[in-house]
């Protein structure tokens, strides 16, 4: 069964306890501050930042980074592959592999867009249910391969400088804690002193504080 890309909202995978939105905001405080104008906020503008969280849970985290495999763009992961098994799904789930057969790997595809009223981020989600699939290529346009005993996702899409990626391990209501990797640097234009002044002016200017 091939996994399907979904553009429908997914239930947030912030299962470490407490208020979901509050936990998200706490994690976002570790990232650079960006300045949007009042109009951009009204139109729900968003920026793609490296390190932005997509999940927060109790399962072991997956380490990954953007790189290359044989000269092709790739997402290199820490997911171990067993030396046994005829297919990559088997090698992920058999003894010595990183996952269990009931696990799902959820791939987040994020894309930075520029709209009339400000920047936006489109999110698509693709699930690979390991128990249901013998697919060697479960994610659209992406090949899987073994790189020094670990899983790598390979495809030209990983070179796109307006896209970001996150890979989450899901098991029932549990998830790993994962963040976005991306080459996108558009957000840097919204971290400058000029961006701060532009944002402040849209709200009526900075308020001076008298001693």
pLDDT tens string 87-138: 888 888 877 767 877 899 999 999 999 988 999 999 999 999 887 666 667 8
Residue 45 CA to residue 163 CA, distance in Å, equals 16
Residue 58 CA to residue 16 CA, distance in Å, equals 6
The model's pTM: 0.87
Q: Given this model, what pLDDT does residue 12 score?
A: 60
Residue 59 contacts residue 174 (beta carbons within 8 Å): yes
Q: Given this model, what pLDDT does residue 181 score?
A: 98
Q: Given this model, what pLDDT does residue 135 score?
A: 65
Low-confidence ranges of the chain (pLDDT < 70): 1-12, 15-18, 97, 132-136, 206-211
Q: Given this model, what pLDDT does residue 4 score?
A: 46
Phi, psi of 13 (to 5 degrees): -100, 50
> Which candidate, 111, 86, 92, places its Cα nearest to that of 164?
111
Other C-beta atoms within 10 Å of 141: how many? Answer: 10
Dihedral, CA atoms, 152, 155, 157, 160, nearest 10 degrees? 80
Q: Given this model, what pLDDT does residue 157 score?
A: 97
Residue 30 CA to residue 13 CA, distance in Å, equals 19
Q: Given this model, what pLDDT does residue 130 score?
A: 85
Q: Given this model, what pLDDT does residue 134 score?
A: 66
> Which candidate, 36, 48, 43, places its Cα nearest to that of 186?
48
Q: How far is CA 22 from CA 18, 25, 32, 125, in A?
A: 8, 5, 18, 23
């Amino acid at each position: 069964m091939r996994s399907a890309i979904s553009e429908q909202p997914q239930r947030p995978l912030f299962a470490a306890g407490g208020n979901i939105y509050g936990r998200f905001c706490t994690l976002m405080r570790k990232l650079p501050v960006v300045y949007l104008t009042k109009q951009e906020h009204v139109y729900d503008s968003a920026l793609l930042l490296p390190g932005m969280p997509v999940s927060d849970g109790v399962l072991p985290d997956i380490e990954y980074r953007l790189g290359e495999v044989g000269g092709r763009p790739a997402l290199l992961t820490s997911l171990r592959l067993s030396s046994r098994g005829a297919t990559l799904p088997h090698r992920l789930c058999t003894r010595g592999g990183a996952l269990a057969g009931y696990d799902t790997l959820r791939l987040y595809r994020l894309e930075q867009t520029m709209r009339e009223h400000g920047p936006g981020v489109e999110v698509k989600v693709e699930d690979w249910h390991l128990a249901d699939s013998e697919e060697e290529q479960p994610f659209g346009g992406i090949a899987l391969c073994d790189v020094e005993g670990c899983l790598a996702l390979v495809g030209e899409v990983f070179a796109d400088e307006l896209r970001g990626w996150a890979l989450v391990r899901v098991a029932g209501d549990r998830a790993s804690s994962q963040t976005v990797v991306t080459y996108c640097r558009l957000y840097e234009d919204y971290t400058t002193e000029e961006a701060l002044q532009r944002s402040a002016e849209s709200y009526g200017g900075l308020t001076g504080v008298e001693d």
